[in-house]
Amino acid sequence: MALRPCPLFIGGEWTTVSGVATTPVHNPSVGEVIAETPLCGADVVDQAVQAAAKAFPAWMETPPVERARILFRLKVLLEDHFDELARSVTTEHGKTLAEARGDVRRGLENIEFACGAPSLLMGESAENVARGIDCDSIRQPLGVVAGITPFNFPAMVPLWMWPIAIACGNTFVLKPSEKVPLTTIRITELACQAGLPPGVLNVVHGGRVAVDAILDHPLVKAVSFVGSTPIAQYVHERGTKSGKRVQAAGGAKNFVLVMPDADVSPTATGILEAAFGCAGERCMAGSTAIAIGKAADTVLPQLVDVVSKVRVGPADRDPDAQMGAVITPEHKARVCDMITQAAAAGAKPLTDGRTTKVASAPGGFFVGPTVLDHVRPGMVTMKEEVFGPVLNVVRMDDLDAAIELANSSPYGNGAAIFTRSGKAAREFRHRIQAGMVGINIGVPAPMAFFPFSGWHASFFGDLHLQGRESVAFYTQQKVTTTRWFSMGEGTIWADR
């Protein structure tokens, strides 16, 4: 099978690079290599940054309404190519077609938000802040900004970043995950078709060398990152040390509390979707369910029943597949090893994804949905982000103890509760230490006009991705204080 091209996009031109190492891009559903991503060095990153810097002055002076019109055209093009893009996500990532559609749709919502740039960039003003003195503020772009994105949402996460950044008047250098570069390439082609000027958006490929080059480059003013917590912390520390703004979203250990009064069927479905959607490869995965009181007796049997019926299969070939593969064979081995460690420590597998076989795709990287009961703090699946289809079930006596356990996690991305009690829900919302909270919603990921507001070790920085915080991140404020004199007014004493 011929490998798909993986070019760079610099200064409005598609180019290839030779003589560098590459890393494979898999179709996880079947285990085939479909492309090779070049691992570019600092010289290539510099070319992209220089192209962005060259394009910045003209783009900054482009009226926000004209920038928005280009994004409107891009939105239409992405909708016209919606199914194609969803298939691209499925092919290089392994998630189901329905999940891939959600990936693309969430990205589109961020473009829709960015199309509001003429209003989002409006400043503030006040008359007579002192006698005869007025004051106003405006927002101006930073310059060249950059994004470093993960493998798990090939469409959505890059579209969290560059549309709003360029809508604010910045130019952008994007380094997508080397595991899933193909969807970004196709979206960039459509951005060119929409009329985006050369140099406004640039795409480079690579690993740590390319990341470090972005973090150290003196012309890059801000960096957006999504990935694991150790790398997010590294990106934040190195980027801020070189004087950049950095927003770095990291990993998570999200808790789903289940009260004894929870509605059984929607709760089981909600936990199923939270734990096993996108094969658990998302920072909003509900990876630990805390069954409070008798909730385990009512909800757990139905949960196990629905989990055991999940159809695992090659997402690009089986339209009925409900869960696809994980990203690489190495990641499959890691997830299975963590299940083995937890079982050896005393966790009871009620469903065991290590034994999952898919006859129609024997080479695929499949791990079935796994429910581990009687999990205790200290077990590996409780301490570390599995990033796979594994659900811990912890049994506790009361809400206070459950909140205390959830709050003991170093992470703080999302948390949810299933209950019919308004009092319990309010108590949970008030006391839980997480930035995104769900009440009878297993995955409380906010819409594009709200911030993706992780806390603690789930986020490093001050201003979050998405929403008005992203506008603040990609702009700097200028405040002007004005006074006008009448003829002769304000003349200094020496001139009188």
**Could you state, in order of their start, the residue ranges of all structural domains in the chain?**
8-250+458-481, 255-439
Catalytic residue numbers, as ranges: 283
Residue 326, classed as helix, strand or coil, is: coil
SS3 state of residue 295: helix
pLDDT confidence of residue 489: 72
Instruction: State the pLDDT at residue 486.
Output: 83
User: Would you state the structure tokens that stand for residue 454, as one six-digit string?
Assistant: 């992780």
Closest C-alpha to 44, from 186, 189, 205: 205
Tell me what pLDDT residue 316 has: 87
How many other CB atoms are found less than 10 A from the CB of residue 471?
Answer: 21
What does the pLDDT read at residue 492?
A: 64
**Three-class secondary structure of residue 322 per DSSP:** coil
What number of residues does the chain have?
496
**Closest to 248 in 3D by CA, of 199, 214, 298:** 214
Do residues 258 and 415 lie in contact, with contact meaning Cβ atoms separated by under 8 Å? no
Burial class (CB in 10 A: 0-12, 13-18, 19+), 147: buried
Contact between residue 121 and residue 168 where contact means Cβ atoms under 8 Å apart:
yes
Of all residues in the chain, the percent with pLDDT exceeding 90 is 96
CB 389 within 8 A of CB 278: no
pLDDT averaged over consecutive 10-residue blocks of the chain (496 residues)? 92 95 97 97 98 98 98 98 98 97 98 97 96 97 98 98 98 98 98 98 98 98 98 98 97 97 97 98 97 96 97 92 97 98 98 95 97 97 96 98 97 98 98 98 96 97 97 98 84 58
Which tens digits make up the pLDDT trace of 43-90?
999 999 999 999 999 999 999 999 999 999 999 999 999 999 999 999
The answer to whether the CB of 356 falls within 8 A of the CB of 322 is no
CATH for 8-250+458-481 is 3.40.605.10
**Predicted pLDDT at 487:** 76
Alpha helices in 151-263 (DSSP H): 156-167, 182-193, 208-216, 229-241
Question: What's the distance, CA 257 to chain centroid?
Answer: 24
Q: What is the reported pLDDT for 232?
A: 98
Residue 432's identity, in one-letter code, is: I
Beta strands in 269-381 (DSSP E): 288-292, 348-351, 370-373
The yes or no reply on domain 255-439 and CATH 3.40.309.10 is yes
474: DSSP letter: T
